[in-house]
Amino acid sequence: MDPMETTQSRVAVTGASGLIGKALTRSLAADGHEVVRLVRRAPRGKDEVRWDPQEGFVDKAGLAGCTAVVNLAGAGIGDHRWTAAYKRELRDSRVLGTGTLAAAVASLDEPPRVFVNASAIGYYGDTGSRAVDESAPAGQGFLPSLCVEWEAAAAAAQEAGIRTVFARNGLVVGREGGAWGRLFPLFKAGLGGRLGDGRQYWSHISLHDEVAALRHLIDTETLSGPFNLTAPEPRTNREVTAAMGRVLRRPTLFPAPAPALRLVLGEMAGDVLGSQRVLPTRLLESGFTFAFPGIEDAIRAALR
């Protein structure tokens, strides 16, 4: 049995204030693990450690004794229109942050056993109706190139012999943030509808399974490299829209035409209208079991 399963551990987390970070830290704390949150401001308690990824600074003393470090930091992909300046922020918040943290853990006298670094299924680009798993190459465009740089920035940890895992996250179904944090209010108000023609695949994962998968990757000492954190049954946007309507008992009569999305969202519309049919092959092969594999399961879980 893995030590993480039998003893209390000290786990450092960046991005702890985000949708995934909040849920992960709650889960770890509920099981008796000590959680250290890396923050950019002055620490307000013993459970906080300061870091400044832009300046390449981490208070390494605060990482002492950590058995795992989980890096979830990064500016929100959908928070702003993709201007040149915001694309730089998206890149720097991920690449500089990962490089800073990887170098810090690699320099510790007693480094953590595992470094889990967030990534995204944006790595694969638009795959259309073609299913892809971790064996597929990177796609073309801004998000794939960003994900490639993001993962490469963890090289210092890998070269130091630290087990390094890349969690390529799909669309997390949760009420408190992310894409679904914006969708739920619209659909509850009866204003939901498909995006574009609705044929594009959305590779989702319930927030519950996202956290469970991250903990599985932390705890299983044989796992390293990329893992797709997506449910095994990707659905099209049209199917997701219908499922939202059924679960919420609301009409879904307000489609957003592709030209309108391009006008409003600019370059980001390509990501919204793009199709990613991503399968969690390596996660399933490692023995992970999804609690909410279907889209309706995931939506109902988010509402509970």
Q: Express each pLDDT in 47-90 by its tens digit.
A: 999 999 989 999 999 999 999 999 999 988 877 778 899 899 99
Q: Which residues lie closer than 8 Å to 237 by C-beta, 6 or more apart?
A: 194, 195, 196, 198, 199, 200, 201, 202
What is the CA angle 227-166-108, rounded to 5? 145
- Is residue 252 a contact partner of residue 194, using CB atoms and an 8 Å limit? yes
Using CB atoms within 10 Å of the CB of residue 199, give its burial: 0 to 12 exposed, 13 to 18 middle, 19+ buried.
middle
* Torsion angle, alpha carbons of 198, 201, 202, 204, to 10: 140
Distance CA 50, CA 85 (A): 25
- Round to the nearest angstrom and report the end-to-end CA distance of the chain: 32
Q: Judging by DSSP bridges, how do beta strands 201-202 and 235-236 pair with one another?
A: antiparallel
The pTM of the full predicted model, rounded to 2 decimals, is 0.93
Domains and CATH numbers, the chain: 9-303 (3.40.50.720)
User: Alpha helices, DSSP H only, in the chain?
Assistant: 3-6, 19-30, 84-106, 142-152, 155-159, 178-188, 207-219, 237-248, 258-265, 269-273, 281-285, 295-303
**Structure tokens that stand for 175 in this block:** 């009420």
Can you give the pLDDT at residue 22? 97
| Dihedral sign from CA coordinates of 207, 208, 210, 214 | positive
Can you give the pLDDT at residue 254? 87
Q: Which residues lie closer than 8 Å to 103 by C-beta, 6 or more apart?
A: 56, 156
Write out residues in the chain with pLDDT < 50, as ranges. 1-6
